[in-house]
Amino acid sequence: MKASEIRSKWLTFFEGKGHKIEPSASLVPHNDPSLLWINAGMAPLKAYFDGRVIPDNPRIANSQKCIRTNDIENVGKTRRHHTFFEMLGNFSIGDYFKEEVITWAWEFLTNPQWIGFDRDRLSVTVYPEDEEAFRFWNEKIGLPAERIYKLDENFWDIGEGPCGPCTEIFYDRGDKYGDLNDPECWPGGENERFLEVWNLVFSQFNHNKDGSYTPLPNKNIDTGAGLERFASILQDVDSNFDTDLFVPIIDRICEIAGVKYHVNDEHDVALKVIADHIRTVVFAVGDGVVPTNDGRGYVIRRLLRRAVRYGKKLGVDRPFLHELVGTVGDVMGVYYADVVEKREYIEKIIRLEEERFHETLSDGLALLSNLVEAASNAGKQEISGGDAFKLYDTFGFPYDLTEDYASEHGMTVDRAGFDAAMEVQRSTSRGAHQASAGMSVQGGPLADFTGKSEFIGYDELTNEEATII
Ligand code: ATP
Ligand code: MG
Ligand code: MG
Ligand code: MG
C-alpha cells in the first residue's frame, strides 16, 4: 500500500466517523512563541484544546507536517526517526473519549478495508493506574492481558495545562527484528521489533500552577500516528527509509553520487541523513523559512550543512542538494501541492546556501593550509584547539574537516582544547540567549510532545553535532 493511500485512508476513515478534515498547518507555529516548529498534529490545534477557540466540529482529523530536531541523532541510526515526518491525527474536543478512540483505532488498524494488520501482531501500553483503558483493550477489544504493558511513562504531561494518561500501540515486526526473550524488544524498549505506531492521549486533567492535578471540564482526545512507520510495515520493508516516501529520493542521491544503496553501511547512513534533511529543508523553505544565523533559519542552515558534509562522505564535492527538490516534489506533491508550485524558489534558496557553504569550505582550507605550514615550520605536530575552534566559529569550518586535513599532513588536532573553547562559547551564548530572547523555544511547553525526550534547540546541539555541521 502506497503512503499516499494510507494517508487518504486515514482521512476517509475519520471523515466517516464525523471528523472535519483539517489541511496540514504550516511548520511555522502561528501565534505560539513556545514552539520553534510544529512538532505534533495537535500543536496547531492547541487553541481548541485549551478552550480559547471553539471549533465548528469537535471532531477533527489531519495529516500534519512535523519537525523534531531532537531526533536528529537518531536519523540514519534507527529505522523509524526523521527530523521531518507526517503525523496522522484524530482529535476530540470535549466530544468522544476513551472507548470510542480505542475502538476506532482498532478498527482502522485491523479491518482489511483500512490497514488490515494481523491483530495478533499488535500490543499496547497503558498508564499503570489507567484501569479503564486496560479494561477497554482487554474486555472490549479482546486483547490478551499479556499484550497490554503497563508503563509509567504513559502519561502525557507538558507542565502547566491539559494532560493525561496515554495508551500506545505497537506492531510486532517479527523475529527478524529481535528476540522476544530480550526485554529490550518489548514495547518501550530500545529494540525496534515492536514498532511504536500510534499514541492515543486522554487529555483529561489540568496540571495546575501549584503542581496539583484537577479534572478538566472537557475531556479531550489527541492522537498521533507516524505515516512513514505505517508505510514501512505495510510495504514490508526494513525501515521508513525503504518506503515509497524515501526510495525515489535515495535513488536520486545514488545517481548523483554514483553509489549504490544497501552495499556499504556508512554510505547508507549518509544516504538516509541526506534524504531526511532535504525533506525537512524543502518543507521549511516552502513554509517561508530561509537560512539565517538564528532561530528556525539557523536550524535550516545547519541541516543543509550537515547534508553537504554527508554528501562529501559519498564523494560529492559540489552543490547537489537543490537537485533533489524536484524529487521531493514528485513524492510529496500529491498532498502538498505547494512544494511543487514553489519548486524554483526552493531550489534557488538551497542552491545559494550550498554555494556559500562550499565557499566557506574552500576559504577554510586555505587558512588551514597556512596553519599547518606555520605549525610545521615551528616544529610542531599539532594544530591548537584554539585555532581549530576559530576556524569553526569564525569561518564555519567543520572540526572533522580540520582533523582530516591535519592527519593528511601528519598532524593531530588538540580536541580537548577545541571542546573547552566550544564549552566557553556555549555557556556565554546560552546566557545571552536566555537574557535576551524572552521566547522559550527550548524545553518550553510542548517542547516535546511526550515529555520523554527533551527538545534540543538550535543552540543545544551536542559537541559532535556542532562539529559536523
Ligand atoms: P519514539 O518513541 O519512537 O521516539 P515518540 O513516543 O517520541 O516516538 P510521539 O510523541 O508519541 O512519538 O508521537 C506520536 C507518533 O508520531 C509516534 O507514535 C510515531 O509514530 C510518530 N513519530 C514520532 N516521532 C517521530 C519521528 N522523529 N519520526 C517519524 N515518526 C515519528
Ligand atoms: Mg515513544
Ligand atoms: Mg509515543
Ligand atoms: Mg521520540
Q: How far is the CA of 270 from the centre of ligand 4 (A)?
A: 21
**Cα end-to-end distance, the chain, whole Å:** 36
Is 187 within a domain? Answer: yes
Of 87, 154, 234, the residue with max ligand 1 atoms within 8 A of its CB, to mutate for a pocket test, comes to 87
The cell numbers describing 128, all together, are 499503570
> What's the number of domains the chain is made of?
2
Which of 210, 234, 258 is the last residue in one of the domains?
Answer: 234
**Within this chain, do residues 192 and 289 fall inside the same structural domain, yes or no?**
no
**Within this chain, do residues 263 and 352 fall inside the same structural domain, yes or no?**
yes
- Nearest-angstrom CA–CA distance, 113 and 310: 41
Predicted confidence at residue 189, as pLDDT, reads 81
Torsion, CA 2, CA 339, CA 282, CA 265, rounded to 10 = 20
State the 10-residue block means of pLDDT for the chain, 469 residues long.
98 98 97 90 89 93 97 95 98 96 98 97 96 97 97 84 90 94 85 95 87 86 97 98 98 98 97 98 98 93 93 95 98 98 98 95 89 92 94 85 86 94 84 42 29 34 41
Predicted confidence at residue 396, as pLDDT, reads 81
- Nearest-angstrom CA–CA distance, 134 and 467: 47
**Within this chain, do residues 250 and 310 fall inside the same structural domain, yes or no?**
yes
Ligand 1 site, residue 87, Cβ cutoff 6 A: yes
SS3 42: coil
Ligand 1 site, residue 306, Cβ cutoff 6 A: no
Beta partners for residue 164, in sequence order: 156
Ligand 1 site, residue 225, Cβ cutoff 6 A: yes
Q: Cβ(70)–Cβ(456) under 8 Å?
A: yes
**Within this chain, do residues 201 and 306 fall inside the same structural domain, yes or no?**
no
Which of 234, 259, 275 is the last residue in one of the domains?
Answer: 234
Report the DSSP pairing between strands 155-156 and 122-126: unpaired
Is 367 within a domain? Answer: yes
Is 451 within a domain? Answer: no
Q: Cβ(213)–Cβ(205) under 8 Å?
A: yes
- Nearest-angstrom CA–CA distance, 308 and 300: 12
Q: Is the pTM of this model over 0.95?
A: no
Which of 234, 260, 285 is the last residue in one of the domains?
Answer: 234
Predicted confidence at residue 460, as pLDDT, reads 39
Is 360 within a domain? Answer: yes
**Which run of H or of E encompasses 436?**
helix 415-437
Q: What is the CATH number of the domain that holds 170?
A: 3.30.930.10
Torsion, CA 28, CA 24, CA 42, CA 172, rounded to 10 = -120
CA triple 276-278-283, angle to 5 deg: 105
**Within this chain, do residues 173 and 310 fall inside the same structural domain, yes or no?**
no
**318: domain range?**
246-443+458-468
Q: How far is the CA of 184 from the centre of ligand 4 (A)?
A: 16
- Nearest-angstrom CA–CA distance, 177 and 183: 13
**Within this chain, do residues 109 and 137 fall inside the same structural domain, yes or no?**
yes
Residue 423 CB neighbour total at 10 angstroms: 11
Predicted confidence at residue 161, as pLDDT, reads 67
Question: Which listed ligand is nearest to 229 at the C-alpha?
Answer: 1
Ligand 1 atom nearest the C-alpha of 195 is: 3
**Within this chain, do residues 268 and 328 fall inside the same structural domain, yes or no?**
yes
Is 366 within a domain? Answer: yes
Q: Cβ(158)–Cβ(34) under 8 Å?
A: no
Predicted confidence at residue 188, as pLDDT, reads 79
Residue 183 CB neighbour total at 10 angstroms: 10
**Within this chain, do residues 123 and 163 fall inside the same structural domain, yes or no?**
yes
**Within this chain, do residues 230 and 328 fall inside the same structural domain, yes or no?**
no
SS3 98: helix
Is 452 within a domain? Answer: no
CA-CA-CA-CA torsion sign (339, 344, 347, 353): negative
- Nearest-angstrom CA–CA distance, 247 and 237: 11
**Within this chain, do residues 156 and 260 fall inside the same structural domain, yes or no?**
no
Q: How far is the CA of 82 from the centre of ligand 3 (A)?
A: 14
Ligand 1 atom 24: residue of nearest CA? 81
DSSP line for 184-246 = GGSTTSSSSSEEEEEEEEEEEEEE-TTS-EEEEEEEEEEEEEEHHHHHHHHTT-SSGGGSTTT
Nearest to 44 by CA among 300, 289, 224: 224
**Within this chain, do residues 267 and 386 fall inside the same structural domain, yes or no?**
yes
Residue 452 CB neighbour total at 10 angstroms: 9
Q: How far is the CA of 195 from the centre of ligand 2 (A)?
A: 9
DSSP 278: H
Q: How far is the CA of 153 from the centre of ligand 2 (A)?
A: 9
Beta partners for residue 166, in sequence order: 201
**Which run of H or of E encompasses 162?**
strand 161-172
Alpha carbons within 13 A on the beta-carbon side of 3: 26
The cell numbers describing 221, all together, are 482526545
Q: Identity (one letter) of the amino acid at 386?
A: G
The cell numbers describing 277, all together, are 534533511
Is 372 within a domain? Answer: yes
**Within this chain, do residues 251 and 200 fall inside the same structural domain, yes or no?**
no
Predicted confidence at residue 414, as pLDDT, reads 95
Nearest to 155 by CA among 452, 442, 447, 448: 452
Beta partners for residue 299, in sequence order: none
Is 169 within a domain? Answer: yes
